[in-house]
Amino acid sequence: MINYEKICAQVVEIAKSAGSFIRQEREAFSLAKVEYKGKNDLVSYVDKAAEDTIIKSLTELLPGAGFIAEENKEVSVSEEFNWIIDPLDGTTNFIHGIPAFAVSIALQYKTELVIGVVYEIGKDECFYAWKDSAAYLNGKEIRVSENTKVADTLLATGFPYYDFEKKDAYMELFGDLIQNCHGLRRIGAAAVDLAYTACGRFDGYFEYNLKPWDIAAGLFIVQQAGGKVVDFKGGNDMLKDCDLIATNGHISEELLQYVKKYFSKFYQ
């Protein structure tokens, strides 16, 4: 029988090791080393080297598991266990020297997430959880916030960097929310946004146009911390549709209605 707690502890060490490499490389990083995968979609040798190391370590940890990975397209997907990994979530922050980027690693069994680890490198904070566990930050249990109204909350979001079809609706949603909550924050790393929601720094987070590796680990940690995660339609296809609303659970329905007010026309 799989011991998810034991595997999670080992994944934490793998994430921290990759984070140490990323932190060291940031000290001497040059913009000349940046590559473009697409418009505003940046990557560097640091992303690729970190991912290679993570894949090697995870393969040794759980032989036979597949991978859903951002940079390495040569890895294969398994019918049972799959690692969903982003070696450097917040690459643009990393490239520009903004200290908010993370290693994100999730383990999925068939369609169920069973482990999530987010290591926020700049603050040396590791968020993690495994199946049937609480959520933790550097060894201490964390919980989502207790605020019950959007009016009393601090929310996080992100901006699309391609596929701007929904841009106008998004800006209208921003305009509505900034008048009806304590504020909106845009950190630039979905994994960090989700981790901060899990520990109560944010009361909620919403974004569209994401990828599974951006959100898998973080959304699982939010759920294990007592929160709720839905897609923009209010369903559970976050990893398929890659839009999501993650909250403390108390404001889930209210925030969903804000989103639906502007986005329902895209899902008819």
In the predicted structure, residue 149 carries a pLDDT above the cut 70: yes
Choose the weakest-confidence range: 59-73, 112-126, 149-163, 244-258.
Answer: 59-73
pLDDT band at 36 (very low <50, low <70, confident <90, very high): low
Q: Which domains does the chain have, with CATH numbers?
A: 4-142 (3.30.540.10), 150-267 (3.40.190.80)
- Give burial (CB, 10 Å; 0-12/13-18/19+) of 80: exposed
What are the tens digits of pLDDT across the range 63-76? 999 999 876 666 78
pLDDT value of position 40? 40
What are the tens digits of pLDDT across the range 97-126? 898 999 999 999 999 999 999 999 999 999
Mean of the per-residue pLDDT values for the chain? 92
- Give burial (CB, 10 Å; 0-12/13-18/19+) of 30: exposed
CA distance 220 to 145: 16
